[in-house]
Amino acid sequence: MLKKLLMTPGPTNVPEEIRKKMAEDVIHHRMADYKKLFSEVSENLKDFFKTKQEVLTLTCSGTGVMEAAVVNLFSKKEKVLVINTGNFGQRFVEIAATYELDVIDLKYDWGSTYDLDDIKAAISENPDLKGIFMTHSETSTGVLNDIQRVGNLTKDTDILLVVDSVSGMVVNPLEFDDWSLDCVVAGSQKGFLLPPGLAFIALSNKAKKAMERSNLPKFYFDLKKYIKFLKEKQQNPYTPAITLIVGLKCACDLLLEEGLDTIQAKHTKLRKYLGEELLKLGFEHFVTDEKARGNTLVAVTHRGIQDMDKFRETVDKDGVSIAGGQGNYAGKLLRIGCLGKITKADIDRTIEEIKKNLI
């Protein structure tokens, strides 16, 4: 049994075989063995994004790669729409505003997904719209936004669709090419079974053309450098997190061997089971629309718990870590992750610790 079971929506517990692989001797990132490894990993990542485009690997957090998407695809004063359904939609608003983009903040109540008619209206009313930002899995609420419907709106336009799938990738379906997505970002510490520190980004041909026009400042996050180094040298332009790249190869092998369809079906079943067990204890779903619930986490409230943060601290002392609410919902939510190599036994252990502390 793990000393600390992470039932959070990232980071997740790292499987033993990956930890052992990362404990091996460090290799050098400008040598042939790293080039071979990085080339293989970069090809593997295409299978997760479901794309024929390059998938770039950055050494940073999810927020870092969100910023990279902004600074590479847009120019100052350009108009963009943010579909804001939670804390990470708000993060796109703040990053875009920092770089002086003209931001339309299409904000929804936390726990809700978007209304497609609102987006159609925004596109119609703003012929100068250059981009739409949205979150795939909104980690702060548990909402899974339908990104394919928005891709259908933007595919035959010059509008770029930029998607944060940092917590959505792997355990929820995503089809970069078939859904006409232009930029998708993801992170290592969620569905990819790794510690934090790596981020991934895929770009459509339309997005690459926009990169040539972008006038926002960038150096470390200049994605043209990453594309050039990947194509010509099978390397990163700057020193990568080598140990995490080694772990990523192991993680890709494990996940692809299991199969994404199998993984997603399993996590759907586990997420529903977790939700059912929580309801038995008097919890209520924060996302009331079942169709809008993703496999990343289950977010719940409880009328009998006055301070969720104090409650989860008590549960944490018993060896199970669960996340709390963010923003205005700090202390009001439990967010229990369904990511990684969790099992029914892990959920049962979590439920038992929660039940024990409810008494």
In sequence order, the β-bridge partners of residue 79 are 102, 129
Using an 8 Å Cβ cutoff, are 335 and 143 in contact? no
The residue count of the chain comes to 359
Tell me how far apart the alpha carbons of residues 99 and 108 are, in angstroms, rounded to a whole number.
23
Tell me how far apart the alpha carbons of residues 198 and 249 are, in angstroms, rounded to a whole number.
12
In sequence order, the β-bridge partners of residue 57 are 200
CA distances from 329 to 7, 177, 288 (A): 19, 36, 16
The residue whose two tokens read 């990053």 is 95
Amino acid at 153: L
Q: Considering only CA atoms, give the Rg of the chain.
A: 20
Which tokens belong to 303?
Answer: 């009328």
H or E segment at 2? none
What DSSP state is assigned to residue 327?
G
Q: What are the pLDDT tens digits along the chain (359 aa)? A: 678 999 999 999 999 999 999 999 999 999 999 999 999 999 999 999 999 999 999 999 999 999 999 999 999 999 999 999 999 999 999 999 999 999 999 999 999 999 999 999 999 999 999 999 999 999 999 999 999 999 999 999 999 999 999 999 999 999 999 999 999 999 999 999 999 999 999 999 999 999 999 999 999 999 999 999 999 999 999 999 999 999 999 999 999 999 999 999 999 999 999 999 999 999 999 999 999 999 999 999 999 999 999 999 999 999 999 999 999 999 999 999 999 999 999 999 999 999 999 96
What DSSP state is assigned to residue 293?
B
Using an 8 Å Cβ cutoff, are 144 and 164 in contact? no
φ, ψ of residue 56 to 5 degrees: the values are: -90, 145
Q: Delimit the domains of the chain by residue range.
A: 16-256, 258-358
User: C-alpha angle with apex 116: 263 to 292, nearest 5 degrees?
Assistant: 35
Question: Looking at domain 258-358, does it have CATH number 3.90.1150.10?
Answer: yes
Using an 8 Å Cβ cutoff, are 77 and 100 in contact? yes
Using an 8 Å Cβ cutoff, are 49 and 184 in contact? yes
Tell me how far apart the alpha carbons of residues 355 and 341 are, in angstroms, rounded to a whole number.
23
Residue 90's SS3 state is helix
Question: Looking at domain 16-256, does it have CATH number 3.40.50.300?
Answer: no
Using an 8 Å Cβ cutoff, are 65 and 187 in contact? yes
Residue 19's SS3 state is helix
* Strand 143-144 with 137-138, pairing: antiparallel
Report the interhelical angle of 32-49 vs 223-233 (nearest 10°).
120
Domains 16-256 and 258-358 share a fold: no
What DSSP state is assigned to residue 31?
S
Using an 8 Å Cβ cutoff, are 120 and 153 in contact? yes
Tell me how far apart the alpha carbons of residues 44 and 37 are, in angstroms, rounded to a whole number.
11
